[in-house]
């Protein structure tokens, strides 16, 4: 197959839509197939189905190259190449639910495509099984995506590496051609999605974005390994933060000191309430399960998951310790999304924190710059939601900063104090300056910002 100018992307979620839009911005003609008619209708009017920086603008700019449908016959008419990026959500037991993937593959098997590229995160061995569904005439590539929500388009356009698992040489060739503008970064800088400085400089020095060629199983495992390692870093630093509190050290100082070792590095070392979102919780559980099914007990990963679960309750425990009891107290949550820059509430620590506070008899008020609409659908209706953070703080006995939105750093904390019943701020993301907060008269605690021994008079 020669034609990489025209392709179909299956699944209009974060990964599928970012890929489709990025390839359309590079000049490819992209059809997007999704079973969700509402989503497709919205996209036809250039309405993004979720909040993602640069997406609204990109949908408009690339609209001449993008088309949307719920009809597979229309989606696969005269296309040789299909990229599958449907969701693989977790089942209650922790496996990846492959229902949508298999549905997509079965539909694909009835159409004459030559190459199917699987971008969905799938358990090792799935690509092999997919081959059987597609039959002998269709080639397959595993092409996992490493994009982050909140930077989905940027990560797709400016990747660190492109990973391709395949069994035939020509398949690598096709994907290399498909992604050439990304590999060479040969497209004009997009003003609304600027190229990161480090990448611009690397390209100027003649470097390219590496395309890593592997077998199918290695590509599948590499995706899980990347997410498991990043999750491990987070649980590790959260454990060190908890130790810092116990012994009177400051995690921010510790990270600064160890991050300078190039073998360790400073990235992905923010102590806080643990990881959430649609990837880390799901993929760590899926990898632990995958290992177990293969007869191996992945002890380290099980501990990473356990530590992450416990970390979510740190602020609730701190609130109870500071206030004496939670029953009858008003607690305000600043931030609900699993991280800033997104309205996504999947596996957000805020959900369990709110539930736990309610279970302990507290009254819960909450705010978020982007996630309120979704919060209305998923949060316990007893949680009172406010668009204005200052209003959310009214009469609160303690403020729990759950998501480190820049808005909360920039909040007028002197004015905020006048709204509160008690000036208690528990910062689950170490987003605020402890000295500045204390100077304003707050009782302030972060995560892993232990009191020095001298201050504690131990
Ligand atoms: C992640 C991976 O980064 C991405 O490569 C993969 O493809 C999908 O999963 P995402 O879930 O969008 O992306 O968010 P990310 O920014 O990686 O953060 C994940 C979670 O870890 C968030 O809940 C965040 O708050 C938390 N986190 C991250 C920390 O607690 N500390 C850190 O230092 C970094």
According to the model, what pLDDT value does residue 457 have?
A: 45
Query: For residue 172, how far is its CA from the centre of ligand 1 (angstroms)?
Result: 29
Binding-site residues for substrate sit at 223, 268-272, 276, 339
Task: Verify whether ligand 1 is closer than 6 Å to residue 147 (CB atom).
Answer: yes
Q: What is the dihedral of CA 73, 86, 151, 285, to 10 degrees?
A: -170
Task: Verify whether ligand 1 is closer than 6 Å to residue 304 (CB atom).
Answer: no
Task: Verify whether ligand 1 is closer than 6 Å to residue 276 (CB atom).
Answer: yes
Binding-site residues sit at 34, 39, 88, 121, 223, 268-272, 276, 282, 339, 346
Atom of ligand 1 nearest to the CA of 277: 11
Q: Which helix (H) or strand (E) holds 33?
A: strand 29-33
CATH number of this structure's domain 6-210? 3.40.50.720
Sequence-distant (6+) residues with CB within 8 A of 89 are 96, 97, 282
φ and ψ at residue 400, rounded to 5 degrees? -110, 115
CA dist 269 and 284 (Å) reads 18
φ and ψ at residue 384, rounded to 5 degrees? -90, 130
CA dist 277 and 85 (Å) reads 17
Sequence-distant (6+) residues with CB within 8 A of 204 are none
According to the model, what pLDDT value does residue 2 have?
A: 79
Question: At which residue do the structure tokens 């632990």 appear?
Answer: 288
According to the model, what pLDDT value does residue 1 have?
A: 78
By the 8 A CB rule, do 143 and 164 touch? yes
Query: For residue 262, how far is its CA from the centre of ligand 1 (angstroms)?
Result: 21
Q: Indicate which residue of 15, 240, 279, 379 is catalytic.
A: 279
According to the model, what pLDDT value does residue 455 have?
A: 57
Q: Print burial letters for 246-282: b (CB count within 10 Å at least 16), e (below 16).
A: eeebbbbebbeeeeeeeeeeeeebbbbbbbbbbbbbb
According to the model, what pLDDT value does residue 51 have?
A: 86
Query: For residue 289, how far is its CA from the centre of ligand 1 (angstroms)?
Result: 21
Determine the 3-state secondary structure of 378 from DSSP.
helix
- CB-count burial class (<10 Å; 0-12, 13-18, 19+) for 126: buried
CA dist 166 and 127 (Å) reads 9
According to the model, what pLDDT value does residue 454 have?
A: 53
Write the ipTM.
0.96
CA dist 259 and 252 (Å) reads 10
In order, the DSSP letters of 214-282 are E-HHHHHHHHHHHHHHHHHHHHHHHHHHHHHHHHT-BHHHHHHHHHTSTTT-STT---SS---SSSHHH
138 is catalytic: no
The model's pLDDT over 335-351, given as tens digits with 9 standing for 90+, comes to 999 999 888 999 999 99
Q: Would you state the CATH architecture of domain 221-307?
A: Orthogonal Bundle (1.10)
Pocket test for ligand 1, best of 282, 339, 402 (most atoms within 8 A of CB): 339
By the 8 A CB rule, do 278 and 149 touch? yes
Query: Which CATH class name applies to 312-455?
Result: alpha beta
Whether 312-455 and 6-210 are alike in CATH topology: the answer is yes
By the 8 A CB rule, do 5 and 81 touch? no
Residue ranges per structural domain of the chain: 6-210, 221-307, 312-455
Q: Which two tokens stand for residue 231?
A: 């999750």
Query: For residue 429, how far is its CA from the centre of ligand 1 (angstroms)?
Result: 13
pLDDT beneath 50, residues of the chain = 456-458
Which strand ranges, in their side-by-side order, compose the sheet holding 424-427?
384-386, 363-367, 330-334, 398-401, 424-427, 443-445
């Amino acid at each position: 197959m020669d034609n990489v100018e025209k392709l179909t992307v299956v699944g209009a979620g974060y990964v599928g839509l970012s890929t489709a839009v990025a390839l359309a911005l590079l000049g490819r003609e992209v059809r997007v197939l999704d079973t969700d008619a509402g989503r497709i209708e919205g996209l036809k009017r250039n309405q993004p189905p979720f909040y993602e920086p640069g997406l609204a603008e990109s949908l408009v700019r690339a609209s001449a190259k993008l088309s949307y449908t719920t009809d597979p016959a229309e989606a696969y008419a005269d296309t040789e190449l299909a990229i599958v990026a449907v969701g693989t959500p977790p089942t209650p037991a922790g496996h990846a639910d492959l229902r949508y993937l298999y549905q997509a593959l079965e539909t694909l098997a009835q159409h004459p495509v030559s190459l199917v590229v699987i971008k969905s995160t799938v358990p090792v061995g799935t690509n092999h099984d997919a081959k059987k569904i597609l039959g002998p005439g269709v080639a397959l590539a595993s092409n996992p995506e490493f994009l982050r929500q909140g930077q989905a388009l940027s990560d797709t356009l400016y990747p660190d590496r492109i990973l391709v698992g395949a069994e035939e040489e020509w398949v690598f060739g096709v994907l290399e051609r498909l992604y050439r503008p990304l590999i060479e970064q040969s497209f004009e800088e997009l003003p609304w999605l600027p190229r990161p400085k480090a990448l611009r400089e690397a390209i100027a020095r003649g470097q390219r974005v590496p395309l890593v060629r592997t077998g199918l199983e290695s590509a599948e495992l590499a995706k899980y390994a990347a997410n498991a390692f990043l999750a491990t870093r987070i649980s590790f630093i959260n454990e060190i933060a908890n130790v810092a509190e116990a012994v009177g050290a400051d995690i921010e100082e510790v990270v600064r000191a160890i991050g300078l070792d190039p073998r360790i590095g400073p990235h992905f070392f923010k102590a806080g309430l643990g990881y959430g979102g649609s990837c880390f919780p799901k993929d760590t559980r899926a990898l632990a399960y995958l290992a177990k099914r293969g007869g191996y007990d992945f002890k380290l990963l099980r501990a990473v998951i356990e530590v992450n679960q416990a970390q979510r309750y740190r602020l609730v425990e701190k609130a109870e310790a500071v206030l004496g009891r939670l029953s009858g107290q008003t607690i305000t949550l600043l931030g609900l999304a699993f991280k800033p820059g997104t309205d996504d509430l999947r596996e957000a620590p805020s959900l369990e924190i709110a539930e736990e506070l309610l279970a302990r008899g507290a009254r819960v008020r909450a705010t978020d710059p982007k996630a309120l609409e979704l919060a209305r659908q998923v949060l316990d209706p007893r949680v009172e939601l406010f668009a204005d953070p200052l209003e959310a703080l009214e009469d609160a006995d303690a403020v729990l900063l759950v998501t480190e939105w820049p808005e909360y750093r920039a909040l007028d904390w002197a004015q905020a104090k006048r709204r509160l019943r008690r000036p208690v701020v528990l910062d689950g993301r170490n987003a605020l300056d402890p000295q500045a907060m204390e100077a304003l008269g707050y009782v302030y605690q972060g995560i892993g910002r232990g009191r020095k021994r001298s201050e504690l008079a131990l």
